[in-house]
Every structure is written in structure tokens, then in C-alpha cells.
Structure 1
Amino acid sequence: MSHTIDGRSADTASVAELVGTTAEQLSRLVREEAKLAAAEAQGKAKRLGAGAGLVAVAAVLALLAAGALVAAAIAALAQVLPVWAAALVVVGGLVLIAALVGLLGWMSIRRATPPIPEQAAASLRQDMAVIKNRSRR
């Protein structure tokens, strides 16, 4: 393939012309790559938004289903207890489960704080000690 610069072959172009052409082509390539990256990011952002919307709809439906399940549990217990007692039993069970899950979450958060990567920090301190020892020699 023969390249031309201002109508002349690349073989007869000066070094300055070749450098200028190369810079121009590199600049064009970078601009085109940036456009491609932007288009790809825009497409992914649209898919991400659509996916997030679907997840939100699923969460609302799951919440409605949970409410229906609670109502069904109360109705089932109302066969052997007064309705108010059945509702109290179900609510008490839900409060107990919520407290247990909340406690487990709180314990997990406390174990994770402070958010310092302790192993990485220890490794870094060890590396620094080795570097100091070697630099003293």
C-alpha cells in the first residue's frame, strides 16, 4: 500500500512532513477511539439504567408478596386464635427475625471497621522495614 502526503509518495516526503502527518494521524486516532469509548459507555449506561429499573420493579413486587405472605400467616393463625392474637404472633415473629438480622449486620459492620486493609498495611510496613535494612548496608 502506497501512502501519500500532499499528493507525493511517502518516500519523497521530508522528515518534518512525515512527523506532522504522523502527529495528525495519531491525533485523529485518539479522537476516534475517544468517540468509540463514549458510544460504548453510553450504550452500557442505557442497559444499566434499564436493568436497575427492572430490579426496582422486582423489589416492589417482592415487597407486595411479603405483605401478602404476612396476611396469609395471620389468616391461617386466625383459624385457631382470635385475629388480633394471630396478628400479634406474626408481628412478634417478624420483629424477632428483624432484630436477629439487624444484630448480625451490626456485628458484621463492627468487624469490618475501621475500613483499613490491615493485611496490606502490615505487608507495606514489612516491605518498608526490608527496604530500610537494605539501604543501611
Structure 2
Amino acid sequence: MTTTSGSGSGPDQQSIGQLISRLSEQAARLVRAEIDLAKAELAEKAKAAGIGIGLLAGAAFFGFFTFAVLITTVILAISEGLAPWLAALIVLVVLAIITGALALVGVKSLQKGTPPTPEKAVAGLKQDAETVQKSVKEGLSR
């Protein structure tokens, strides 16, 4: 003959206090897991951005000198037909216009990327919150 111990070990035998305690523990674990996911996602994005920034800095370093030689070449070519000071002034104006346009586009691009948010983690948290709310409502309606 089998006997039940009455220890409340089965899901139907748990008290409301035990169920709330389990829910609280599981919710805390879930939140910690989502925070860990957000940290990992941000670290991954920061690493990729750091590598990209480093490579762009190297390219900018060499590009600066390349561009200086190009500008000198353009000034020398224009000075074949005009006074050297006028050739330099024409190149200066063109470069100032290009610089202004690039600055405007760059600022707009930076504004689109800020603030950096862990989108997957935020979506996961929203889904988890909806699931918990749904479960609580279903549990209360029983």
C-alpha cells in the first residue's frame, strides 16, 4: 500500500506561498540571465566597433599623407595656367566645401547610432514580462 507523505512535493500540493516563492526565484534568475545577455551583446558590439575604429584610424593616418600629396599635385597643375596663390585658393575653397558636407553627414550618422541599446535583450525582457503577466492572469483565473 502506498502512502503520500503530504510534504507538498507535487505541483498540485504546493501552497500559494511556495508557488510565489518559486515564481520569485525564477523571475530573479530570468532577469539575471537577460542582464547577462545584454552585457554580452554590448561587449560584442563594443569589440567590433573598437576594431573598426582602430582600422579606420590607420587608414586615416595614411590617407592624410596621400591626400596632402594629391592636393599639392592639383595646386601645381592649376598653377600652370593661373598664379600659384590663386590655384591654392581655388583648391582651399573646394576642400572647405567638401569638409563641411562630410561633417554634416557624419553628425547625422552619429545621431542615428546613439544611444547604443541592446535591442535583442530589450525585446527578450519585454517578451518575458508578457509571458509572466499572461501566466499570472491564467493562474489567477483558475
Instruction: Provide the TM-score with structure 2 as the length reference.
Output: 0.53
Match of 2:53 in 1: 52
- 46-55 or 58-67, larger mean C-alpha shift: 58-67
Structure 2 distance, partners of 1:23, 1:48, is: 37
Contact 1:70 1:90 in 2 (8 A): no
Report the aligned-residue RMSD: 3.1
Match of 1:73 in 2: 74
Structure 1 distance, partners of 2:81, 2:93, is: 22
Contact 1:74 1:90 in 2 (8 A): yes
Give unpaired runs (5+ residues) of structure 2.
1-6, 105-142
Structure 2 distance, partners of 1:73, 1:101, is: 16
Q: Confirm whether residue 94 of structure 1 aligns to residue 91 of structure 2.
A: yes
Identify the structure with bigger relative contact order (alpha carbons < 8 Å, sequence gap 6+): 2
Shift of 1:66: 1.2
Query: Aligned residues, how many?
Result: 95
Q: Percent identity?
A: 32
Q: Confirm whether residue 43 of structure 1 aligns to residue 44 of structure 2.
A: yes
* 1:94-124 per-position Cα deviation (integer Å, ceiling 9, x unaligned): 22324x628x76xx8xxxxxxxxxxxxxxxx
SS of the residue 1:93 aligns to: helix
Match of 1:19 in 2: 20
Q: Amino acid of the residue matched to residue 101 of structure 1?
A: I
Structure 2 distance, partners of 1:31, 1:94, is: 58
Instruction: Provide the TM-score with structure 1 as the length reference.
Output: 0.55
SS of the residue 2:47 aligns to: helix
* 1:8-56 per-position Cα deviation (integer Å, ceiling 9, x unaligned): 1212111110110111111111011101110111111111111112222
Structure 1 distance, partners of 2:36, 2:56, is: 30
* CA 15–64 in structure 1, closer or farther in 2 if over 3 Å, else same: same
Structure 1 distance, partners of 2:22, 2:73, is: 76
Match of 1:63 in 2: 64
Give unpaired runs (5+ residues) of structure 1.
1-5, 109-137
Q: Amino acid of the residue matched to residue 68 of structure 1?
A: V
